Amino acid sequence: MKTKILGLVIITILFSCKKDTKRPLRKIQQYTIEQFMNNEAVGGGSFSADKSNLLVSSNRSGIYNVYTIPTKGGEMTAITQSDSTSIRAQSYFPNDNRMLFSADGNGDEINHLFVRELDGTIKDITPEKGAKANFYGWSEDDKHLYFGSNKRNPRYFDAYKMSIEDYSSEMIYQDDSGLSFSGMSNDENYFVLTKSLNTNDGDLFLYNVKTKEMIKVNDNQSANSAQDFSKDNSIFYYTTDDGAEFSYLMSYDLATKEKKKVIEKSWDIVGSSFTDEGSYMIVYVNEDGKNAIEVLDTKTMSPVELPDFGKKSITSVSFSDDEKLMRMYVGGSNTPSDLYTYNLETKEQYKLTNVLNDAIDAEDLVTAKVIRFKSFDDTEIPAIYYLPHQATSENKVPAMVWVHGGPGGQTRQGFSSLIQYMVNHGYAVLAVNNRGSSGYGKTFYQMDDKNHGEKDLQDCVEGKNWLALQAEIDGDKIGIIGGSYGGYMTMAALTYTPEEFDVGVNLFGVTNWMRTLKSIPPYWESFRESLYLELGDPYSADSVRLKRISPLFHTEKVTKPLIVLQGAKDPRVLQVESDEIVAGVRNNGVPVEYVLFEDEGHGFVKKENQIESYSRILKFLDKHLKKENAPVDGATKSTEIESVK
């Protein structure tokens, strides 16, 4: 089954924990939020059958739409013109210029698959109301596509094979037990099935369609992930952390059942796939918060030399079917990734996009640095640090502790308009990868199990303490910000350590764990028990602890200014979570701002909403952290809910 792998990449520099050096004051231009959001985000990149164009997604119109762009450079051509919901490119059809893309309903995550026919008409090929559909790939004979759908049972995803001639489909795997379809050999004789055991570990099975034999691939409980099959369907490749802290690449011979270690690094191997003819293997490594990419010649398993982009890095790659052209994304933490094509035979290289706003000088933006600090129990905590150019020991700046989503996520060094906007306007940002974050070994990942709002929160407090020791930071002006799980950590910080942080920015954060865990979408059923093992079962005695760590029930402890931002269509963290935490904190007479976006889900994807939300965050910080333009009488009047349509 033909699949593509995308990734992010960033430059990592180790940074010592405490420095008292004097930095020269560097004059930089400050940019407006409109200038920052005039950057373009481009993603995907499927080659047309004749290799003349790429199919991509771009938000240049203010929301994601589908475009084509010539592989040797030129103007983008708009294929869709949505002004309400994001539309994402999936793939050109293998042998003609039909196009496959996906869209949900304004962030509700109920994705459907659509085809743009050769005459320009658009057809929903998975029209079942309320059902999700996920594109899996193309068949070896290029006559079918594979997709997953929960149309039969909202809790489980079955696998389907669809004719690309008349769009008729047949079910090829029915899931009634939480054994999720995770891949298939090109000859359709082996299905890869996974069973989630917890948020780290899962069992991996190979099902022989002809013999009905079910083979368990892994020997011990570990993190196992399907990657790809060899071109001749004789070998299955997967990653595992069995007996190790980090995932490595293994092979499994389908005839002899022999397993061999293929590649091991000092970090997680997070992805591996073959090009269509099997000449190259692409390997992605999560190297201290960045993607390190290798393209290997499968005959020699030696790395293929890729273009050198200096301070920028290649963030993802993909090949044309004949393996002669490669598309690449190239960027860094101070610039979004541009799209390139590269001819492996002639070495010709073309830059197809220029996504950074021409009005912005990348040198005015900040390159992230990786630092590490010791937490309360001497656990070493990694973090990503953005220090404003204008910060010196004589010109100290306020700072924000940034907490990623999850739980189990990781802040990486990709370009973030919000982070760069805050840093450009004089706020240092320390993105803490607290215990429980992925990418630093399975022991570190599991350290916060049934410990949320406690030891992971202390890691964030210690991050604040590290900031306060830096010569360029005003230790009396440090806040905390995060989205989803990071939003929960913001509220936990203001609730359970009310004097540690000076302000809080909560983007669609969980505030009542019992309600959130009971209301997770039905299509997460195969992962539900794993979530309960990490966070707690809300239907058991765990509910006592879950209530104790839920900020909603302890709002009387919050004393510091707060801004909350929420999408009304969020299926993961319901609007009521933000409604109720705002009401509770307001009862304390604490300054609270609340911005609700009627047309957003879990995260804000429309540029006009990003402009509104990011500018509101900066104004809030300027008022309550920098204390610029604060009311003379010290009034604490809080704003009513502001609904943005």
Would you kindly state where each structural domain of the chain is located, as residue ranges?
Answer: 362-512+550-644
| CA dist., res. 314 & res. 340, Å (int) | 10
Number of Cβ atoms within 10 Å of the Cβ of 632: 5
Q: What is the mean pLDDT of residues 531-543?
A: 92
Specify the pLDDT at position 630. 46
Higher pLDDT, 623 or 630: 623
| CA dist., res. 120 & res. 126, Å (int) | 18
* Strand intervals (E) in 254-348: 259-263, 268-274, 280-286, 291-297, 302-303, 313-319, 325-332, 335-343
Specify the pLDDT at position 11. 26
pLDDT at 633 over 50: no
Domain 362-512+550-644 part of CATH 3.40.50.510: no
Q: Write the pLDDT tens digit of every residue in 92-112.
A: 999 999 999 999 988 889 999
| CA dist., res. 333 & res. 419, Å (int) | 10
| CA dist., res. 391 & res. 378, Å (int) | 29
Confidence of residue 27 (pLDDT cuts 50, 70, 90): confident
pLDDT at 5 over 50: no
| CA dist., res. 410 & res. 385, Å (int) | 14
Specify the pLDDT at position 527. 83
pLDDT at 15 over 70: no
Specify the pLDDT at position 529. 87
Q: Which stretch of 125-129, 164-168, 289-293, 499-503 has the lowest confidence by average pLDDT?
A: 289-293
Specify the pLDDT at position 522. 86
Structure tokens at 320: 């044309």
Burial of 23 (0-12, 13-18, 19+ CB in 10 A): middle
Q: What is the mean pLDDT of residues 149-159?
A: 95
Is-contact 321 94, C-beta < 8 A? yes
Specify the pLDDT at position 486. 96
Helices (H) and strands (E) in the chain, counts: 10, 38
Q: Write the pLDDT tens digit of every residue in 480-497.
A: 999 999 999 999 999 999
* Three-state SS annotation for 377-421: CCCEEEEEEECCCCCCCCCCEEEEEEECCCCCCCCCCCCCHHHHH
pLDDT at 127 over 60: yes
Specify which residues 360 forms β-bridges with: none
pLDDT at 636 over 80: no
Q: Write the pLDDT tens digit of every residue in 192-233.
A: 999 999 999 999 999 999 999 999 999 999 999 999 999 999
| CA dist., res. 537 & res. 340, Å (int) | 47
Q: How many residues does the chain have?
A: 645
Confidence of residue 1 (pLDDT cuts 50, 70, 90): low
C-alpha angle 248-526-536 in degrees, rounded to nearest 5 = 90
Specify the pLDDT at position 26. 67
What whole-number percentage of the chain has pLDDT above 90?
A: 86
In the β-sheet with 325-332, what is the strand arrangement from edge to edge? 313-319, 325-332, 335-343, 349-351
Q: Write the pLDDT tens digit of every residue in 383-439.
A: 999 999 999 999 999 999 999 998 889 999 889 999 999 999 999 999 999 999 999
Specify the pLDDT at position 637. 38
Confidence of residue 528 (pLDDT cuts 50, 70, 90): confident
Q: What are phi and psi of 294, to 5 degrees?
A: -125, 135
> Looking up tokens 């309600």, which residue turns up?
515
Whole-number average pLDDT of the chain: 92
pTM of the model: 0.91
| CA dist., res. 432 & res. 467, Å (int) | 11
Specify the pLDDT at position 36. 92
CB hemisphere CA count around 328 (13 angstroms)? 26
Q: What is the mean pLDDT of residues 534-551?
A: 94
Confidence of residue 641 (pLDDT cuts 50, 70, 90): low
Q: What are phi and psi of 343, to 5 degrees?
A: -90, 115
pLDDT at 237 over 50: yes
pLDDT at 634 over 60: no
